[in-house]
Structure 1
Amino acid sequence: MSQNWGMTIPFSDRPLSRSRELIEELPGLGYTDAWSAEVNGADGFVPLAMAAQWAPGLRLGSAIVPVSTRGPGLLAMSAATLADLAPGRFVLGIGASSPAIVERWNAGRFERPYARTRDTLRFLKKALAGEKVSEAYETFEVKGFKLERAPEVPPRIVLAALRPRMLRLAAEEADGAITNWLSPDDVRKVRAEIGEGTELIARLFVCVSEDADRVREMARWMLASYLTVPVYAAFHDWLGRGEVLRPMHEAWRAGDRQAALKAIPDEVVDALIVHGDAATCRARIRQYVDSGLDTPVLAPIPGGEVSIEQAVRELAPKA
């Protein structure tokens, strides 16, 4: 396949310290990319720094690091370090994140997420190009920041974007858009907002299992924990799932978690989670690509009939 084919690192069943051999395998399996995440596990940069040494042929990306849990200068320094370790191969993915991550877990302030993301993007483009930045943005002010050593090849910057305003910002001022929790049909709607010239990246949650009932039961917990977050609720309203997900939201707000899980229809689970045997999963991933996704980033879910290690191999484009 000629398009990108990414894998999420570290793997969900092991710490980074035991991931080297499998990460080293990724290029030979046909994976082009390795993408980190940053929620409450590994941070968004260290896994990529290690992968830069373990698998020098991979493109490396963060999907995503929040713009409100680090200061602008520190974010620029971290990005510059990765860009130095992997010249021309690092993509910095940033985004607004959520109130839980920014405020409840990191004692930050989740305010004006669109403006903060836009301002951080504009600051980073200047700082990573080696400019001295003294500027009052709408959401913060920077006075006299200049990287001690700017990267020879500034990283591309992509934005986490779920709805039209942020998607248009990604298309107009960044180098791409990152999204997740969507179906192949949803990809077409997202693609229409950014046009054909902008890279579209999405993390796809995959469970290699033919036990559909078991997968759905497990996946409902994942879906409820994400789709009840306001930004994701609004995203799926925009995608047209507002009414079908209304019973879940009502039960969740009432504190009845079990009722909320039961209210998620099978068809929603099947639309948003890739599952089946490995061949079925690969075919489903290709549906995303055919619908306009440039970079699928696979996130294998434990609990299927095969191990995560085997799933990584069986989901590879060269499988």
Structure 2
Amino acid sequence: MALDTALGTIGIFSGGLRVDAPEQLGEVREAAQELEELGYSTLWIGGSPGIHQAVHILEATERATVGTSILSIWNHEAADVAAQYAALPTGQRERFVLGLGVSHGKLAERYARPYSAMKTYLDGLDGAPVPLPASQRLLAALGPKMLELSRDRAAGAVPYLVTPEHTAQARERLGAGAVLAPELKVVLDTDLARARATARDFLALYLALPNYTNNLLRLGFEETDFAGGGSDRLVDALFALGDGDAVRKRVDEFLAAGADHLAVQAVVPDQLNARLPREQWRALADVLALRG
């Protein structure tokens, strides 16, 4: 099955699906099963996961594609990743997609020459005893060079913190054959001021990371847009805020811009303690008619 078909149109992105603590496994497995039943075709594990964390979700589900978004090349050696992929049972291996990226200088001690490092990493995946094929890997690409690499050495790209305008530009650079699966943050709250406040609290981390802010500058935003947690213009561009109609409109904008698949991330006020925002996932499934 082609990867764009396997991914489907709408997936869910959640850092809460990334777990190591045994006492959390039951809850996460149950949540993954519900996400599959709700109609999300792909479950994206956020928070720099490894393949061993994807295994928990693969074991809990039967049909959904499961992806890492993203596995940091600085935290996992290519040979180990390929070996873990090779060890997956055939049925699980077919449902797995490796989303990988170079992370950020502030988060990775070994961060250096990210483009060259990614090329070397892909060489390692290709040269493993059981290669992790290009057809089952996607790169967290934002800029032109990494987008081209995702086209040439992977199945496509999984851009994070982007706009429909970036999606249109990425599609043009990738061409028609590559998979383009951006992420979209959603705040389901009809009080616009409160929704923006929730979005700004969540956005603060990312506005401290140059890879993201440099990409936003390329898209036409200015340094002043990054002050105070983000201008209204910036927040409204990066999030779907409001009711179901507002969410559907933003989803349609990304798909019309050239996205094959959209990874939807539910953002709630107390994100740290609401690791698995299952009420919002259910509401989004209804809004996007995933079960109908």
Structure 1 segment 1-319 matched on structure 2, within 5 A: 3-9=8-14, 11=16, 15-39=24-48, 43-82=49-88, 84=90, 86-103=92-109, 109-127=110-128, 129=130, 156-241=136-221, 243=222, 246-247=223-224, 260-261=227-228, 264-303=230-269, 308-316=277-285, 317-318=290-291
Q: Name the amino acid aligned to 1:63.
A: S
Q: Shift in Å at residue 19 of structure 1?
A: 2.3
List per-residue Cα deviations over 1:50-86 (Å, max 9, x = no partner): 2212111011111111111222222222333346561
Q: Distance in 1 between matches of 2:101 and 2:282?
A: 30
Q: Shift in Å at residue 117 of structure 1?
A: 0.6
Q: Shift in Å at residue 27 of structure 1?
A: 2.7
Q: Name the amino acid aligned to 2:115.
A: Y
- Shift in alpha-carbon separation, 1:240–1:79, aligned structure 2, 3 A: farther
Q: Distance in 2 between matches of 1:128 and 1:221?
A: 45
List per-residue Cα deviations over 1:160-182 (Å, max 9, x = no partner): 10000000010111111110111
Q: Name the amino acid aligned to 1:50.
A: H
Q: Distance in 2 between matches of 1:233 and 1:187?
A: 16
Aligned partner of residue 98 in structure 1, secondary structure: coil
List per-residue Cα deviations over 1:244-285 (Å, max 9, x = no partner): xx1255xxxxxxxxxx316x3212101101121234313321
Q: Distance in 2 between matches of 1:279 and 1:23?
A: 26
> Unpaired segments of 5 or more residues in structure 2?
none
Would you say the 8 A contact 2:141–2:157 is kept in 1?
Answer: yes
Please report the TM-score for the alignment, with normalisation by the length of structure 2: 0.84
Aligned partner of residue 93 in structure 2, secondary structure: coil
Q: Shift in Å at residue 155 of structure 1?
A: 6.5
**Aligned residue for 1:148?**
none
Q: Shift in Å at residue 123 of structure 1?
A: 1.6
Task: Tell which structure's C-alpha radius of gyration is larger.
Answer: 1
Would you say the 8 A contact 1:128–1:154 is kept in 2?
Answer: no
Aligned partner of residue 100 in structure 1, secondary structure: coil
Would you say the 8 A contact 2:195–2:242 is kept in 1?
Answer: no
Q: Which has the higher helix share?
A: 2
Q: Shift in Å at residue 94 of structure 1?
A: 1.1
Q: Distance in 2 between matches of 1:286 and 1:77?
A: 39
Q: Distance in 1 between matches of 2:236 and 2:70?
A: 25
How many residues were matched structurally?
Answer: 274
List per-residue Cα deviations over 1:105-164 (Å, max 9, x = no partner): xxxx1111001011111220231645xxxxxxxxxxxxxxxxxxxx8x887111110000
Would you say the 8 A contact 1:10–1:19 is kept in 2?
Answer: no
Q: Distance in 2 between matches of 1:214 and 1:195?
A: 39
List per-residue Cα deviations over 1:208-248 (Å, max 9, x = no partner): 1111111212222332321331111211122121x2xx125
Q: Distance in 1 between matches of 2:141 and 2:120?
A: 15
Aligned partner of residue 98 in structure 2, secondary structure: strand
Q: Name the amino acid aligned to 1:186.
A: H
Identity %: 29
Would you say the 8 A contact 1:83–1:90 is kept in 2?
Answer: no
* Runs of 4+ off more than 3 Å: 9-12, 14-17, 81-85
Q: Shift in Å at residue 199 of structure 1?
A: 0.3
Q: Distance in 2 between matches of 1:26 and 1:11?
A: 13
Aligned partner of residue 267 in structure 1, secondary structure: helix
- Shift in alpha-carbon separation, 1:274–1:84, aligned structure 2, 3 A: same
Q: Distance in 2 between matches of 1:112 and 1:33?
A: 31
